[in-house]
């Protein structure tokens, strides 16, 4: 919890690590530790677990809690840890968030409740409940309307940011880039905003974003972290070069539903024992694998860098 009292220091490439499963479908805790060690060796500036890339909706609360405890033990205080703790159920969200707090997480990443399509007032009350319940834990909203069918409005974020000292930021996973700007305009640059859209990670930094939580860090963690560092150092041309070099890997992630393509690549590279994804996801199809191999031939060099 080294960074819990200074959430403004949680910047850069926060890698949203996949949840590896065994061939039989159980959570692979040894594999998770190995992935986290690789991320740290590769220079990732923080670790997240349990966002969309981690298949949280296919896991029980107990499984998610056990995985975040494993991650917290492996990370220690080396980099910030921002586990996803949200659910479509409030009691479950509070249970997992409490476990994250107790495990030493530096902030809780709380997804907007999915399927129910709550109003903005309902979203405000949802996050207000979480913020009040955990006053000493920074809370970050996770806005991903493509998966939840609800979009948290800039005005709602501003209310929360104004009313609760521990509501500190938003992971924005929307392709509406105007939304990023309106969030920062409404709340000011003190609000921490991370991009969850791969091809908007670098552009967000120009608006004053804190960094990114990019799934492509599962394949090329060193390159993604380096892109942030180059921007911060003022080497904008080199940062842009990496942005464009990452394009094939970004496309690879979404050949079929994320994280199935990434898991297949990681299995082929020996970084996890199995590329198993839980239903309703399936492993990549033959047609998908053909396209994945093509894209890996274009951008695979970045997966080998340290």
Known catalytic residues? 142, 171
Q: Is 144 within any annotated ligand binding site?
A: no
Q: Is 174 within any annotated ligand binding site?
A: no
Q: What is the DSSP string of 188-248?
A: -TTSEEEE-SGGGHHHHHHHT--EE--GGGGT-HHHHHHHHHHHHTT-HHHHHHHHHHTHH
How far apart are alpha carbons 180 and 195 in whole angstroms? 8
How far apart are alpha carbons 303 and 306 in whole angstroms? 9
Beta bridge partners of 17: 49
Nearest residue to 125 via CA among 98, 97, 164, 183 = 164
62 is written with which tokens?
């107990």
How far apart are alpha carbons 133 and 7 in whole angstroms? 18
57 is written with which tokens?
């909706």
How far apart are alpha carbons 197 and 216 in whole angstroms? 10
How far apart are alpha carbons 15 and 81 in whole angstroms? 10
Q: Is the peptide bond before 198 cis (omega within 30 degrees of 0)?
A: no
Task: State the Cα angle at 197 between 192 and 202, rounded to 5°.
Answer: 70
Question: What residue spans of 76-168 are helical by DSSP H?
Answer: 90-103, 120-133, 145-148, 154-163
Nearest residue to 211 via CA among 219, 220, 222, 198 = 198
Per the annotation, where are the binding residues for pyruvate?
53, 213
Per the annotation, where are the binding residues?
53, 213
């Amino acid at each position: 919890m080294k960074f819990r009292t200074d959430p403004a220091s949680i910047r850069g490439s926060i890698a949203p690590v996949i949840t590896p499963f065994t061939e039989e479908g159980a959570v692979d805790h040894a594999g998770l530790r190995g992935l986290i060690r690789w991320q740290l060796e590769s220079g990732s500036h923080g670790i997240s677990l349990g966002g969309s890339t981690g298949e949280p909706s296919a896991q029980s609360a107990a499984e998610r809690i056990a995985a975040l405890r494993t991650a917290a033990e492996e990370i220690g205080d080396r980099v910030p840890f921002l586990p996803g703790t949200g659910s479509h159920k409030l009691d479950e969200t509070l249970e997992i968030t409490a476990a994250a707090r107790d495990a030493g997480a530096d902030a809780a990443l709380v997804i907007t409740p999915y399927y129910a399509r709550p109003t903005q007032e309902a979203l405000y009350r949802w996050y207000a409940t979480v913020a009040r319940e955990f006053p000493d834990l920074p809370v970050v909203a996770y806005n991903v309307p493509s998966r939840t069918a609800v979009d948290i409005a800039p005005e709602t974020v501003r209310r929360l940011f104004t009313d609760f000292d521990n509501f500190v930021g938003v992971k924005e996973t929307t392709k509406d880039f105007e939304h990023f700007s309106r969030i920062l305009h409404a709340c000011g640059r003190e609000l921490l905003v991370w991009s969850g859209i791969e091809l908007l990670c670098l552009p967000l930094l120009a608006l004053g974003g804190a960094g990114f939580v990019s799934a492509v860090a599962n394949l090329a963690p060193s390159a993604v972290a380096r892109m942030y560092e180059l921007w911060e150092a003022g080497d904008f041309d080199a940062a842009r070069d990496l942005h464009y070099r990452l394009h094939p890997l970004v496309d690879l992630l979404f050949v079929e539903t994320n994280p199935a393509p990434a898991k297949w690549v990681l299995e082929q590279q020996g970084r996890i024992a199995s590329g198993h994804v839980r239903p309703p996801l399936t492993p990549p199809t033959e047609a998908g694998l053909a396209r994945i191999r093509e894209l890996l031939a274009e951008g695979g060099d970045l997966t080998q860098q340290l």
